[in-house]
Structure 1
């Protein structure tokens, strides 16, 4: 009887298969690309005055040095994600890295402002080609705790590039290596990019979607047109005083985005037919609670990030009269806090889960920004503001940096968790696009708050108080995310 019962017991379940070991060097290679892209977004802020004087460029052309990069980057991300799914993520990453390195040389050697703008557009397209591949490679090459650690390193890299970008640019310009001045801010990418290129084939495994998707040419046109119509006025409008064409563009972007959504839904529902094209963005992605809520959380977070860095840079350089290097040194207060928590994010996530980690990070950022606002209001008109002292900002910046370090990695990884392997590239393109759109929209909205005040210190206080409200929105949206470890 006992023997019979024992024989009826189900055999124990076999242990789950171990995740394949990611090749050594994979993480440094893909994160090098992330660092260069992030650095080149922020380092240009420092280089603008000197390159304008050197090339004899007018204000409109100088604006396009920044706008050309941002537009090309944002408009190409969704398409680039699908290109990786179809032709291979390593291949597209390597192509993007090679083009980015070449474009950086073009920027650093540009004889005229027009040449520089063209090279910056090429840089943006190359960065768009790399961005979704990085997220997809991290999602497919790692699993479990290793994936959490990989995304933590991704967040650390983005933060270091963003927080220390201005300081690095200031140091490069101050050092004036070989008399290159502002050009060294771009040429520094050459040795870094070439070294990473050498390692691509050795360190990155090739991967594609299980069923190689088509390119959906109608979707490509609609996505590019709608994002350009949305971002161009957001980038140029604040500097130009919002002329009529910016309002027309924003109206057109709504219609184009609606057409894109309808086309993608139709392409998704008819994808099984022989004549149908594969959608750029498979709308089945949004049936996932983690993806939909995660995209909203991403949007809330990046609405605040780009605008915060801009408002802080404006306040330090124009409100307090610091040069690029001095402003960069103040940014280190954020960097110290960021480095402390971003290095421990994977351990915090293992203990609190994604929702808990993002919530703690969002509350810390809210507290830091509120402290900055209180400090600004207290300093407005006081001696500490009048004599240019800015170290009253340090405590709030440090706390804000602590919160940032806990948010960037999990708010990115949670969106891609559970995405079907065939849709990973499409999902990564959406995530990267939301980051760029959120940043541009945040700059436009917070710019209205900043420029709406007369006193520079009070303007900074109003702005960071509005940003604190955005972080509370992030905390609220996090509650929509499903619970997981």
Structure 2
């Protein structure tokens, strides 16, 4: 399908949006859905805590490390083409994860999944930015934020339902295999409704021009992110061996060298001018904290509800329905993000008290408050971050926003999980309460960032 003008205002202009939002939904869902399966994966594949952390962290690390170069690939080869390749690869990797014979094969499949998700994400935002001008663009970005938020809060519920259904006796494998019919259907729809964007290799993404990839720059940013995340994922379980400290020490010079290289190249992987767009930089910090806190909450409660309270995957998922309900109801009201962040802080304090009581229904009620806060916060925050970005820098914004989301999610989930597991010898209740204190601090930081940015 080739459109002579993507900006033509007709009802059919909205047909591409559900297709790209399906990709956003499943790639975000896959970051969270694995949490509910971790206890079963650990038992079935005889995996230790460090290995199961990589099932979670390997996906997010590959996702974050590949986003910036994926935006440039969209510039060179067209957003539609790279989107289709990413969606096909994600579907195949999901099949590999669902049929993995051992923990190593599962980790490898998850890394490939994350790499494929990285191919998709910048193309989605580039397509939205190109296809929907003016008021339509803000509306489309609002739906993007809603899809991201719904996926983020639905992981536990969807995972619990799939594992309880135990289709074909597959157990935890269904949380990955469910992507096959979704991915195939989205691929068929994409072939029909996604337009080729004329000139997408010369101005709709990171830098345009098409002189080739900056391979050295890509290796610098991927290596710098890996040097931060990998030690933090593996270090606590392995007792912080020397290599973890060496990698952490290397992360700063690698990322500094990447930024310096981008300043001097005529066509950089990352157009650094995007950070000067109104509200983008503080919004980016808030998004990273939001996804980090969400990932941490998902991991802690998935383990606590099952291992601590003895609930099955379905019952644990049902507790999370309150989070979903709060999110859906609050997301119907479009408002300013700050009240949402404050509601999350209050809700997490209530969750901590409910954990102390050990009553699932009290935890569910408190999660309803957290979900309402997320519903008020997530969509307007992401929409605000993106809406002010110029069209020619949409690819840069896409890459940076996605990197912030995934890096924040991996680090938040890993660090919160480390606090949680380190305190597990005091009992699951004390461990969960310790982790929830950290999450309160994280979301209080979101509030501080918003207050500070509003005063500028």
TM-score (norm. length: structure 2): 0.88
1:62-117: CA deviation from partner (whole Å, max 9, x where unpaired): 44433332221111011111111222111111110011111112222334443333
CA distance in 1, matches of 2:451, 2:161: 42
Shift of 1:125: 1.0
CA distance in 2, matches of 1:106, 1:443: 24
- How is 1:85-164 mapped onto 2 (pairs within 5 angstroms)? 85-164=75-154
Identify if the C-alpha distance between structure 1 residues 299 and 119 changes in structure 2 by more than 3 Å, giving closer, same or farther.
Answer: closer
Size of the alignment, in residue pairs? 439
In structure 1, the partner of 2:333 is: 344
1:421-468: CA deviation from partner (whole Å, max 9, x where unpaired): 232112211110011111222234434543454343243333323322
Shift of 1:370: 2.1
Question: For the aligned residues, what is the CA RMSD?
Answer: 2.5
Identify if the C-alpha distance between structure 1 residues 300 and 161 changes in structure 2 by more than 3 Å, giving closer, same or farther.
Answer: closer
Identify if the C-alpha distance between structure 1 residues 300 and 183 changes in structure 2 by more than 3 Å, giving closer, same or farther.
Answer: closer
In structure 1, the partner of 2:186 is: 196
Identify if the C-alpha distance between structure 1 residues 65 and 300 changes in structure 2 by more than 3 Å, giving closer, same or farther.
Answer: closer
CA distance in 1, matches of 2:435, 2:284: 24
1:135-158: CA deviation from partner (whole Å, max 9, x where unpaired): 222233224443333233323322
CA distance in 2, matches of 1:302, 1:56: 29
Contact between 1:315 and 1:457, CA under 8 Å: does it hold in 2? yes
Question: Unpaired runs of 5+ in structure 2?
Answer: 1-6
In structure 2, the partner of 1:264 is: 262
Greater shift in the superposed pair: 66-75 or 111-120: 111-120
1:47-72: CA deviation from partner (whole Å, max 9, x where unpaired): 34444554555655444433332221
In structure 2, the partner of 1:13 is: none
Candidates 432, 437, 449, aligned match of 2:407: 437
Contact between 1:304 and 1:470, CA under 8 Å: does it hold in 2? yes
What SS does the corresponding residue of 1:205 show, helix, strand or coil?
A: coil
Identify if the C-alpha distance between structure 1 residues 440 and 118 changes in structure 2 by more than 3 Å, giving closer, same or farther.
Answer: closer
In structure 1, the partner of 2:384 is: 414
Contact between 1:293 and 1:477, CA under 8 Å: does it hold in 2? yes
Identify if the C-alpha distance between structure 1 residues 157 and 311 changes in structure 2 by more than 3 Å, giving closer, same or farther.
Answer: same
Shift of 1:187: 1.7
Shift of 1:287: 2.2
Contact between 1:84 and 1:92, CA under 8 Å: does it hold in 2? yes
1:352-406: CA deviation from partner (whole Å, max 9, x where unpaired): xxxxx11111111112112223444xxx3xxx43xxx321222321111011012
Contact between 1:152 and 1:342, CA under 8 Å: does it hold in 2? no
Shift of 1:196: 0.6
Contact between 2:347 and 2:366, CA under 8 Å: does it hold in 1? yes
Contact between 2:29 and 2:152, CA under 8 Å: does it hold in 1? yes
CA distance in 2, matches of 1:441, 1:168: 23
Candidates 207, 214, 217, aligned match of 2:215: 217
Question: Unpaired runs of 5+ in structure 1?
Answer: 1-17, 272-277, 349-356
Identify if the C-alpha distance between structure 1 residues 19 and 481 changes in structure 2 by more than 3 Å, giving closer, same or farther.
Answer: farther
Contact between 2:70 and 2:122, CA under 8 Å: does it hold in 1? yes
Contact between 1:96 and 1:130, CA under 8 Å: does it hold in 2? yes
Contact between 2:149 and 2:379, CA under 8 Å: does it hold in 1? no
**Structure number, greater radius of gyration:** 1
Greater shift in the superposed pair: 123-132 or 415-424: 415-424
CA distance in 2, matches of 1:139, 1:241: 46
CA distance in 2, matches of 1:463, 1:59: 17
Indicate yes or no: 2:322 matched with 1:333.
yes
CA distance in 2, matches of 1:448, 1:28: 37
